[in-house]
């Protein structure tokens, strides 16, 4: 891949602590201000029950973003973690309630597996709360490992 060639990426956003919608809007504002990243589409904000965390965890608001970037995947992931900190996320334990969660779902058609980054997101195809907002903005995007569209992955989960 030529340096500087824009890549289409998809980012999942979620919040289940504090002013959930405001937290997502703050994260979106930070994404928009990120150099070498152009936000193209934003899904609706969808409310979903918390999955995998402690029993009784507050519901999430989830959304998805389509963007174009010339950032390397690792640099983009580093920026997503910075935005989480800026919005107020403190990481203590896996799947705990959180002010904001930003996940790099897809980075073009790349499959990346390193100590610090797994793309496509390893659980996205199992999660309605990821696929529903993503299908709203990118139903024909293809999961590069499973070779299925987002709309087909969502349909499979619902049946």
Q: Cite the active site residues.
A: 89, 98, 101, 103
**Residues in Cβ contact with 38 at an 8 Å cutoff, skipping those fewer than 6 apart:** 6, 67, 68, 69
Sign of the alpha-carbon torsion through 158, 50, 149, 133: positive
Copy the structure tokens of residue 70.
């010339």
Q: What own/partner pairs with CB < 8 Å and gap ≥ 24 does 81-90 have?
A: 83/27, 83/30, 83/31, 83/34, 84/27, 86/26, 86/30, 87/23, 87/26, 87/27, 87/30, 88/18, 88/23
Which among 20, 95, 31, 115 is positioned nearest to 60, based on CA atoms? 20
């Amino acid at each position: 891949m030529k340096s500087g060639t824009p890549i289409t990426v998809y980012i999942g956003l979620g919040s289940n602590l504090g002013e959930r919608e405001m937290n997502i809007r703050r994260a979106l504002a930070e994404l928009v201000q990120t150099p070498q990243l152009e936000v193209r589409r934003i899904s609706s904000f969808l409310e979903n029950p918390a999955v995998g965390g402690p029993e009784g965890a507050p519901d999430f608001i989830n959304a998805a973003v389509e963007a174009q970037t010339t950032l390397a995947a690792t640099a983009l992931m580093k920026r997503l973690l910075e935005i989480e900190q800026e919005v107020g996320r403190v990481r203590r334990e896996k799947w705990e309630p959180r002010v904001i969660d930003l996940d790099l779902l897809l980075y073009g058609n790349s499959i990346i597996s390193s100590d610090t980054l797994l793309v496509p997101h390893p659980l996205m195809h199992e999660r309605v709360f990821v696929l529903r907002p993503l299908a709203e903005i990118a139903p024909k995007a293809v999961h590069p490992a499973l070779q299925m569209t987002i709309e087909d992955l969502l349909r499979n989960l619902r049946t």
